[in-house]
Amino acid sequence: MDINAWYTVWLVESNRICNKASLAQIPVMFGFTSQKFGVGVAAPISYFFVHINSPISNFKASDSSLTDLAYSRSILPLMLIFSVVPIWKLCHA
């Protein structure tokens, strides 16, 4: 299973306004955990922290944005450039 999809979700979740000052704000911790113990261990732990530490009242942003859009828009191009393309080149060289 490709970790890029999971890591992208963790990056977006870490950028949500409601996840500030919670463990969900540290996606690197879940990335290391998933490499050491597998995604089957890291994903439930990360989503536990997201759902426990973010009550619905935290989703009420004054400007109706839940994330920093510049950061969110940069995730996909950076994942493609620095993760997907190098791995694809290694496998198809």
At 11-59, the pLDDT tens digits run 988 888 777 788 888 899 999 999 999 999 999 998 888 888 776 666 6
Query: Which tokens sit at 58?
Result: 């935290």
pLDDT, residue 37, reads 94
d(CA 48, CA 28): 16
Q: pLDDT band for position 60 (50/70/90)?
A: low
* Residue 4 and residue 79 in contact, taking contact as beta carbons nearer than 8 Å: yes
pLDDT at residue 67 above 60? yes
Which runs of consecutive H residues, i.e. helices, occur in 1-93? 3-15, 27-37, 39-53, 69-79, 85-91
pTM of the model: 0.78
Mean pLDDT of 57-69: 69
